[in-house]
Amino acid sequence: MKQALTIAGSDSGGGAGIQADLKTMTAFGVYGASVITAITAQNTLGVQSFEAVSIDLVSKQLDSVLSDLDFAALKTGMLANSKIIKIVAEKVKEYKVNNLVVDPVMVATSGDILLAKEAITIIKDKLIPLAKIITPNLNEAKVLSGRRIDEKLSLEVLASELHKLGCEYVLVKGGHQKGDIAKDLLFDGVDFVEYTAKRVDTKDIHGTGCTLSAAIASNLALGYDIKEAIERSKRYITEAIKAGCKVGKGNNPVNHFTRVYSLE
């Protein structure tokens, strides 16, 4: 069985982070393991509190799984602070991990901060150069390219600027743009490829970024090339948004159980 690893934060509400990643990997038939970097007290209304896991415990979790399991892909989500980013980068190099998908999680859609400000330089310098692909949303792309959030910039400009950080591919997600089409843009340093879907008219999009990056990691683990992996992941996230999960009082998560397993 193909195996993938998520290094991310826990969402107690079950919609984003580690929980979304493991549900996604399972949906693709990939065995998912996890290294937890932070524990959030979170629900569909927002992030009420969080604490980062100690560096020692993150490091031990990394050694435990990387020395034993055989990962065909790895994704990172919420990394919380500079020290965690540095240890993750060190272990990725030490264990020669292939297919690193970096989702540079900074702020939840609820507006809550999930990454210390001083960690942005570290993620750019230490982790992004090791990545096969990075998957920033519009605001994360602007922050990583040193732009102001209120600047009007095309996905093309942002993807080109971010590619210079040294990753193989950049996928800038346009989920937070206006319009009928939800467009994401891939750049490999030469060519652009658009991934589009009809925008689903809903506010229930909690966990979309986590799910998309976990789906890309799952499909890379299954052996699909990057373009096929994104194509399959885009189809998955669109269906999961359409299906929705009305579980809480706020912005609800996407639904991974569009095909419910039956024992009949």
Ligand X SMILES: Nc1ncnc2c1ncn2[C@@H]1O[C@H](COP(=O)(O)OP(=O)(O)O)[C@@H](O)[C@H]1O
Interaction of residue 40 with ligand X, rule CB under 6 A: no
C-alpha dihedral (234, 236, 239, 245), degrees to nearest 10: -120
Could you give the 3-state DSSP secondary structure of residue 226? helix
Strand order in the sheet with 3-11: 46-52, 31-43, 3-11, 71-76, 100-102, 133-134, 169-173, 181-187, 192-198
13 binds, among ligand LCLJCK34, ligand X, none (CB under 5 to 8 A by kind): none
The site partner of 77 among ligand X, ligand LCLJCK34, none (C-beta below 5 to 8 Å per kind) is ligand LCLJCK34
The 3-state DSSP class for residue 36 equals: strand
The Cα 117–Cα 190 span in angstroms is 31
Taking a C-beta distance cutoff of 8 angstroms, is the pair 169, 156 a contact? no
Contact status, residue 122 vs residue 158, Cβ threshold 8 Å = no
Out of ligand X, ligand LCLJCK34, none, what residue 200 binds, judged by CB under 5 to 8 A for its kind, is ligand X
- Pair 40, 10: CB distance under 8 Å: yes
- Binding of residue 209 to ligand X (CB under 6 A): yes
Contact call for residue 208 and ligand X (CB under 6 A): yes
The correct pick among 62, 78, 84, 217 for binding ligand LCLJCK34 (CB under 6 A) is 78
3-state class of 252 per DSSP? coil
Annotate each residue in 198-237 with x if it binds ligand LCLJCK34 (CB under 6 A) or - if it does not, as one string: -------xxxxxx---------------------------
Number of residues that bind ligand X (CB under 6 A): 20
Instruction: Give 154's contacts (C-beta < 8 A, 6+ positions apart).
Output: none
Q: 49: which strand partners?
A: 41
**CB closer to ligand X, 66 vs 115:** 115
**Binding partner at 40 among ligand X, ligand LCLJCK34, none, C-beta below 5 to 8 Å by kind:** ligand LCLJCK34
Type of residue at 244: G
H or E stretch covering 72: strand 71-76
Q: Is residue 251 near ligand X by the rule CB under 6 A?
A: no
Of 110 and 160, which CB lies nearer to ligand LCLJCK34 in the complex structure?
110
- Judged by the rule CB under 6 A, the positions of this chain that interact with ligand LCLJCK34 are 8-9, 11, 16-17, 40, 42, 77-78, 105, 108-109, 114, 205-210
- Judged by the rule CB under 6 A, the positions of this chain that interact with ligand X are 109, 137, 173-176, 182, 184, 197, 199-200, 202, 205, 208-209, 212, 234, 237-238, 241
